[in-house]
Amino acid sequence: MMREIIYSLPNQISAAVGIVPDFSFPRKKYNMVLICGMGGSGISGEALSALYPQIRIVSNKDYDIPRFIDKNVLAVLISYSGNTEETLSNYRQLSKRKIDMVILSSDGQLFKKKALHKIKVPPGLPPRGALGYLFAPLPVIIYQAQLIDYDPRNELLELAAFLVRHRDDIERLARKISKRFIDKIIIIYANSSLFTPVANRWRCQLNENAKVFCHYNVIPEMNHNEIVGWQNDTLKIKINASAQKGKANKELINFLSKEWNIPKRNLEIKKGRKSNIKILKIENVSSLSLPPKS
């Protein structure tokens, strides 16, 4: 079933472009867009922010809205079911502040609320499978609100056509990559802020659909060391240092000393100095803060 839902993405994009009416907005100039949504509904706000960095777009995934939100903000509330309690909480707070709101939902309590504009999308999908319906209206909304000066609808339709043309190639590549994930802890790195939502979306899909652990990060942070997690009874740690002349070993000791607040003299590599698998001796320590085993 999920394969069919994934294959429906181009059709969702095309359909979503067509269901956005020609809205009129107040003449005032909005200085920010607040996107309220959780999980599969909320990823659309992250993608919008990455695609339009010239606009201040805040993605809110909390029960409360930020205190700085005022009447110069356009709020878009996204809940595929219409019953997401965090988004309903956001609605109540935004309503009290008299913030202009656009609601995007398939039904539920949220769609029954008053708003400046409402867009109803087709029901019957898991929220994570409705990305096309929940994202494609957003560029159109910010265009109609005069936050961008060109109509994005043709580009969205071209995107849908591109996905149809290359569908088989994309699936072949996906199958090839997925084979490399078997029995592995998966770490995805984006190469820029533009692709951060893509990495996060990929992580979420692996978590929810494949039921596997996955971590993501962005390359500007890739120069830092980090604890990845457990694989069997081995703690995996990513060290950004060359293995030549013991540099990686030295950096490992430095990192663990800072991470665990242990003097470096209390840490010693007993085995595996020239291997990726190492056995450490830790002295004079009563307890350590370790990530939980899955």
Q: Determine the pLDDT at residue 133.
A: 97
Task: State how far the Cα of 39 lies from the Cα of 127, in Å rounded to an integer.
Answer: 8
Tally Cβ neighbours within 10 Å of residue 142.
Answer: 21
Give yes or no for a contact between 69 and 99, defined as CB atoms under 8 angstroms apart.
yes
Query: What is the Cα gyration radius of the chain?
Result: 23
Q: Determine the pLDDT at residue 276.
A: 87
Task: State how far the Cα of 195 lies from the Cα of 199, in Å rounded to an integer.
Answer: 6
pTM: 0.74
Q: Determine the pLDDT at residue 56.
A: 95
Q: How many CA atoms lie within 13 A of 288 on its CB side?
A: 16
Tell me if residue 60 falls in helix, strand or coil: strand
Retrieve residue 218's tokens. Answer: 């962005």
Residue in 264, 86, 52, 226 with CA at minimum distance from that of residue 155: 52
The segment(s) of the chain belonging to CATH 3.30.1200.10 are 226-282
Q: Is the dihedral of CA 168, 174, 177, 180 positive or negative?
A: negative
Buried-exposed string 216-242: b where 16+ CB fall within 10 A, e elsewhere: bbbeeeeeebbbebbeeeebeeebeee
Which residues in the chain land under pLDDT 50?
A: none
Task: State how far the Cα of 155 lies from the Cα of 184, in Å rounded to an integer.
Answer: 37
Phi, psi of 138 (to 5 degrees): -65, -50
Retrieve residue 102's tokens. Answer: 């656009």
The segment(s) of the chain belonging to CATH 3.40.50.10490 are 2-163
Into which CATH architecture does domain 226-282 fall?
2-Layer Sandwich (3.30)
Q: Determine the pLDDT at residue 148.
A: 95
Tell me if residue 287 falls in helix, strand or coil: coil
Amino acid at 156: L
CATH for the stretch 2-163: 3.40.50.10490
Give yes or no for a contact between 134 and 44, defined as CB atoms under 8 angstroms apart.
yes
Beta bridge partners of 226: 238
Give yes or no for a contact between 218 and 193, defined as CB atoms under 8 angstroms apart.
yes
Please give the span between the terminal C-alpha atoms of the chain, in angstroms, as a whole number. 28
Q: Determine the pLDDT at residue 223.
A: 62
- Specify the pairing of strand 279-282 against strand 267-271: antiparallel
DSSP state of 35: E
Retrieve residue 289's tokens. Answer: 């803060």
Phi, psi of 46 (to 5 degrees): -65, -40
Q: Determine the pLDDT at residue 294.
A: 61
